[in-house]
Structure 1
Amino acid sequence: MDPIFSPPLHRQRHQFVIDFVMKNKPRKVIDLGCGECSLLKKLRFHREIEVLVGVDINGAKIKKKMHVLAPISTDYLQPSDAQLRIEMYQGSVTQRDARLRGFDLVTSIELIEHLTLADVERFSAVVFGYMTPATVIVSTPNSEFNPLLPGLSGFRHSDHKFEWSRAEFRAWALKVCLEHGYEVEFTGVGQAPYGQQDSVGFCSQIGVFRFRGREHCNMLCDSDADDVSSYTLLFCINYPSLRDNNTLRRVLVTEVVYWTEQLKKRWIKDKTCQRKDALSFCQNERVEKLQKQMDDMAWPVERCLEVVSDSTGQENYKVLWTNGQKQNDPCAFNRYVCVPLAVLWSCCPKVRDLSESVGNLRRLLMDEPEIKLSQDGSAVLVKYQEQDQEDEVNSDLEDSCYAEASQCSHSAEQEEDWETDV
């Protein structure tokens, strides 16, 4: 059977939630009845979300799919400024758990029709009365649309306990608002054919509930009087973030190592008076930007970088070059190019963004084993090695020309029986 909705109805429901997230930017989000985590997999890329939680009564289904929510390699290679923690729980939406109180957004997508009417009442009390989120998005089938669905007899899914008309859904929603201090807006996804929208409504009807007393909600959530934990935590992971000091240091050290090497090579090139393209690397955009920045600087690099020697192994340095003048070389081993932190900070935007100030840069690099600082901590010392220029160019080409490839695997999501063809 050809699908009658494009995009499919389940994608339209998810897109409705995603559009809401993009517009309202909630920080803490829960998906009740998360099933195979298909909505969570999309929401994790919206980094305005700091805490993303999934809850489902079927623990086996969560365990089967939850690992697709783990960070991928690029999340570690290029950590975001934002932070994200993902938690997955096994539990019933009719039971309370204090860890889920006070969120910004709770979604319940095609869930309540799988509950008995008695459990719907418990669901209402738990979600709206106990969890008290700022916003709740509830979607459920609209029974008035069913006659338009080809080949359908009875409910849309064998596990559905009921399917409400628009009037029945409205009656339940207004009762929830009256009892728990919310207001609701009605909408939906899955347009009826032209001329029938008013008579049958949307295929999936949606209620967007907003809490009217957010300050009271925060007061409730800050209370330690109720610490019940009825759910089982199955999965929890923190995405790498530059807000984490260890991650920040790791990224900063990588940038400092890279840029000190580039500055050293540029300095050696200038000092040996080679042609401008003698040390041309792969047409690396970062190197080209660096060269432009260096050319635009008010003072030449050779006046700020110098070669020093550690002859005793105890941070006792002797300057071998200063402002282009070569001096005696009493110890021709263990020599370093001295890259002042101020130069590094000024020339390298990523280093500047990560460290925020030269003083903070010094503090972050102080105890890093990969970084060798001068005795006063004002410069990074980089090993100086004289070698044939052709060998150096070849080495740079080998180190710089690399490509990263990543593959995204997509697993088919099992939808409701009727909706697999919708």
Structure 2
Amino acid sequence: MEPMFSPPLHRQRHQFVIDFVKINKPKKVVDLGCNECALLKKLKFHREIELLVGVDINGATVKKHMYGLAPLSTDYLQPTYDKLRIELYQGSVTQNDARLRGFDLVTSIELIEHLTLPDVELFSEVVFGYMTPVAVIVSTPNSEFNPLLPGLRGFRHSDHKFEWTRAEFQSWAHKVSSEFGYEVEFTGVGEAPPGQQERVGFCSQIGVFHRIRGRDGCNILFSDDAEDAFSYTLLYSINYPNLHDNNILRRVLVTEVLSWVEKLKKRWMKEKTGERFNSFTLCQTEGGGEECLGASEWHMQMEETQTACGAEMNNLVEQYCRGVSQNHDGVSDEESSKLQSCVSVPLAVLWTSCPKVGALSGSLHNLRHLLMDEPEVKLSQDGSALLVHIQEQDLEEEEEDHNELEDSGYAEARQCSQSAEQEEEWDTNV
């Protein structure tokens, strides 16, 4: 048997809520009667929502499905500035709980028909009189549509206590609106066959309520003492990772900084191997020892290679020195004799040349502050630059790779075969 509605009716109801969220962008949303959390699992991707809450009287069902609301791996790997907290409660919609007051949107999707009529009155008082949200979406079956549903006898579900006609639903909605300071508009999902829409209406009728008075102007039916009541049981809560958390911000920033510095380091090493490693001359002291190459000499060398390395590389400062055993107590002569190169990368270069680093830190001062106590990052003494150590063997390996490519004639061979490769790839693609 082919489905009567496409998409299925439950998806149309959820899509109605999603469309409302996209337009109105509520920050705090609660779904009453959340059941298997299906609507919440869709709403969590709309990150204009900062607090997403589900309430259901059946705690076992909520517990069975609540972990589907946990953050995905991408939420941890690529956190954003969007805040999201999810809370799930076990409780009855006929009882008030102070944690649900002041929300932007309350949804009640196919819920009230499961309540007795006296409980519907309590539901109205709790939602509209106590919670006083900015907007409320209520959907419920339209009994006038039932004759069009094949094989249906009685109510649509065995647990339904009633199913209203359009007139009955609108009568309740107007009464609630008048009593608690709301205005309501009516619509629905699940259209009738052509020519019958006017006669039977939508399969699921929907009332969208908007508060027209502030909370102080509403009829609060509970005493001040009741405002502090916590009648629901918290079953699940999770804060999604976001860049407002300094620990997460530091982790992401450090990762981005190290990644960008590694790129600069590789470009620097390629430039050095291009000049030949033996072209470096260590400055000699009068005593025969070696001292670090000065910043001015390095800048002069970098100016000659501006085209090859890029403008930002001109801001790097190399310190190239040999360890001296007498200056490093406890270090063997063999270890101290190893040449080491330290490239100093000014934070100003990182902040201006890497857009993501600039966006994450906000300012050069913040960048310095966020990196200051990070063990993975070593800053210069004045905190103005990041130090990257390069051992001599790294340069020698880079030089060997460079020489091997030249000796192999790879560059010439690649130029000669370029047109043939392009033609071969074109044939493959076709």
TM-score range relative to shorter protein: 0.7 to 0.9
| Residue 155 (str. 1) matches residue 160 (str. 2) | no
1:165 alignment counterpart: 165
Q: Distance in 2 between matches of 1:266 and 1:298?
A: 6
Task: State yes or no: 1:308 paired with 2:314.
Answer: no
Paired residues of 1:89 and 1:235 also in contact (CA < 8 A): yes
For 1:261, give the aligned amino acid. Answer: E
CA deviations 1:63-99 (Å, max 9, x no partner) are 0000010001100000021100000000000000000
Seen in structure 2, the aligned counterparts of structure 1 residues 23 and 394 have a Cα distance that, compared at 3 Å, is farther
Report the Cα distance in structure 2 between the residues aligned to 1:392 and 1:111, rounded to whole angstroms: 69
Mapped to 2, the partners of 1:255 and 1:217 lie a distance apart of: 51
Measured on the aligned residues, the alpha-carbon RMSD in Å equals 3.0
CA contact (8 A) 2:91 2:232 kept: yes
Q: Given the superposition, is the C-alpha separation of residues 217 and 244 from structure 1 closer, same or farther in structure 2, using an over 3 Å criterion? A: farther
> Match for residue 342 of structure 2?
336
With over 3 angstroms needed to count, the CA separation of the structure-2 counterparts of 1:333 and 1:295, relative to structure 1, is closer
Contact 2:312 2:353 in 1 (8 A): no
Aligned-residue offset at 1:265: 1.1
Aligned partner of 1:349 in structure 2 is 355
Give the unaligned 5+ runs of structure 2.
Answer: 277-304, 328-335, 402-430
Q: Does the Cα contact within 8 Å between 1:137 and 1:206 map onto a contact in 2? A: yes
Contact kept in structure 2, 1:132 and 1:217, CA below 8 Å: no
Aligned to 1:255: 256
1:77-129 Cα shifts (integer Å, max 9, x gaps): 00021100000000000000000000000000000000000100000000000
The structural deviation recorded for 1:336 is: 2.1
How far, CA to CA, are the matches of 1:263 and 1:365 in structure 2? 18
Distance 1:2 1:55 in 2: 33
Higher RCO (C-alpha under 8 Å, 6+ residues apart): 1
Q: 1:29·1:106 contact (CA, 8 Å) conserved in 2?
A: yes
Taking the aligned partners of 2:306 and 2:109, their CA distance within structure 1 comes to 57
The residue number in structure 2 matching 1:361 is 367
Is 2:365 the counterpart of 1:377?
Answer: no
Structure number having the greater helix percentage:
2
Separation in structure 2 between the aligned mates of residue 121 and residue 201 of structure 1, nearest angstrom: 25
Partners of 1:102 and 1:217 within 8 A in 2: no
Structure 1: distance between partners of 2:155 and 2:234: 33
Amino acid in the other structure paired with 1:240: P
Question: How do residues 215-294 of structure 1 correspond to structure 2 at under 5 angstroms?
Answer: 216=216, 226-273=227-274
Displacement of 1:167 in angstroms is 0.2
- Cα distance, 1:214 vs structure 2: 3.3
Number of aligned positions between the proteins: 361
The 5 Å alignment of 1:383-402 reads 383-387=389-393
Secondary structure, aligned partner of 1:151: coil
Shift of 1:299: 7.0
Partner of 2:25: 25
Deviation at 1:308, TM superposition (A): 2.8
Partner amino acid, structure 2, of 1:305: L
Instruction: Specify whether residues 334 and 186 from structure 1 end up closer, same or farther in structure 2 by C-alpha distance, changes over 3 A only.
Output: same
**Structure 1 residues 119 and 5 mapped into 2: Cα distance closer, same or farther (>3 Å)?**
same
- Structure 2 vs 1, CA of residues 63 and 21 (structure 1 numbering), >3 Å: closer, same or farther? same
Contact 2:323 2:337 in 1 (8 A): no
Go from structure 1 to structure 2 and tell me whether the alpha carbon gap of 1:171 and 1:295 turns closer, same or farther (over 3 Å shift): farther
Q: Is the 8 A contact 1:110 1:138 kept in 2?
A: yes
On the 8 A contact 2:323/2:339 being kept in 1, the answer is no
Letter of the structure 1 residue corresponding to residue 133 of structure 2 = P
Read off the aligned partner of 1:243 and give its amino acid letter.
H
Alignment of 1:46-125 (within 5 A): 46-125=46-125
CA contact (8 A) 1:308 1:335 kept: yes
| Alpha-carbon contact 1:109-1:139 (below 8 Å) kept | yes
Distance 1:392 1:26 in 2: 55
Aligned AA (1:192): A
Cα distance in 1, alignment partners of residues 232 and 50 from structure 2: 21
Judge conservation of contact 1:271–1:302 (CA < 8 Å) in 2: no
Would the aligned equivalents of 1:259 and 1:348 in 2 still touch at CA under 8 Å?
A: yes
> What's the secondary structure of 2:30's corresponding residue?
strand
TM-score normalised by the chain length of structure 2: 0.78
Hey, what's the Cα distance between the residues in 2 that align with 1:142 and 1:296? 73
- What is the SS of the residue equivalent to 2:120? helix
Verify the 8 A CA contact 2:338 2:392 in the aligned structure 1: no
Inter-partner Cα distance in structure 2 for 1:267 and 1:224: 69
**Aligned position for 1:418:** none
The structure-2 alpha-carbon separation of the partners of 1:344 and 1:143, relative to structure 1 and needing over 3 Å to count, comes to same
Deviation at 1:224, TM superposition (A): 8.7
- Alpha-carbon distance, 1:335 to partner: 3.6
Q: Is the 8 A contact 2:273 2:399 kept in 1?
A: no
User: Do the aligned residues in 1 keep the contact of 2:132 with 2:215 (CA within 8 Å)?
Assistant: no
Q: What's the offset of the Cα at 1:387?
A: 3.9
Q: Which has the larger radius of gyration?
A: 2
The equivalent of 1:419 in structure 2 is: none
Which string of whole-angstrom CA distances, capped at 9 and with x for unpartnered residues, describes residues 130-162 of structure 1? Answer: 000000000000000000000101000000000
Contact 2:273 2:395 in 1 (8 A): no
Corresponding residue number in structure 2 for 1:212: 212
Deviates more, 1:20-29 or 1:261-270: 261-270
The 1:234–1:390 alpha-carbon spacing in structure 2 relative to 1, beyond 3 Å, is farther
